[in-house]
Amino acid sequence: MRLQAFLARSGAAPSRRKAEALISAGRVQLNGRIASLGESASPADRVLLDGDPVKLPSAHAYLALNKPAGYLTTLNDERGRKTVAELVPQSIPGLVPIGRLDAATVGLLLFTNDGSLAHHVTHPSSEIEKEYELALRNPFPEERLAALAAGPHLEDGKMFPPRITNLRRGPSQTTLNLTIHEGRNRIIRRACEAAGLDLKGLKRVRVGPVRLGSLREGRYRSLTSDELAGLR
């Protein structure tokens, strides 16, 4: 695998981009010499970061977190803001979020140190469903909801029509469940804006076979074998 992927999977760097910066800065050694971008590494190679050995995890971990509002989906933040890394075990090397939720969005966020699974879940060709619970501010014309269901045109292309279920109308807000398999940045927020809907709240409740269920906010759990098999 590429050296930057090796560093990210080991937990020595929070992302491949950060790993590339470490390599470019000359802080990484590969088999006794300063490493260069584009090189490959395997568990048999001797990799050092600032003189300390870097090894891949001996076992894979798969976690589900109920992300609260206000946390960034990153492993560290240069401005000192709260990140999801504070909510999962620090003792598991290479643990990274699978995909992301913006700071205001709450709910289900998966983590793993299995790079192959993370790539599979996030790759568009996998078409793994993500289900969200939306709260929309009333009132709004019915045709705006129809525009959302049809898949609005966005600046990066038309949204594939989502599946809308569990429509519930209240005095001040309408709630519904919306299922998509796209992973474009902030696509639901942008789709609501394009349809003229005022989105009050957004919670992810399912990724493929993994459901948020009764998991408390800020807590995590391990995935079951059935959930893991369904993601693969």
pLDDT of residue 104: 97
Question: Is residue 11's pLDDT more than 80?
Answer: no
Residues 56-103 have pLDDT tens digits of 877 889 999 999 999 999 988 889 999 999 999 988 877 889 999 999
Question: Is residue 15's pLDDT more than 80?
Answer: no
Identity of the amino acid at 62: Y
Instruction: Provide CB contacts within 8 A for 183, sequence distance 6+.
Output: 99, 122, 124, 130
Using CA atoms, how far residue 7 sits from 12, 198, 229, in Å, is 5, 42, 27
Decide if domain 129-207 falls under CATH 3.40.309.10. Answer: no
pLDDT of residue 14: 62
Over its C-alpha atoms, the chain yields an Rg (Å, rounded) of 20
Residues 129-178 have pLDDT tens digits of 999 999 999 999 999 999 999 999 999 999 999 999 999 999 999 999 99
CATH numeric code, 62-124+210-231: 3.30.70.580
What are the sequence ranges of the domains in the chain? 3-54, 62-124+210-231, 129-207
Using CA atoms, how far residue 229 sits from 34, 81, 116, 188, 213, in Å, is 40, 35, 14, 27, 18
pTM, rounded to two decimals: 0.81
Query: Does the active-site annotation cover 114?
Result: no
Find the catalytic residue in 45, 50, 77, 102. Answer: 102
Decide if domain 3-54 falls under CATH 3.40.50.1980. Answer: no
d(CA 155, CA 99): 21
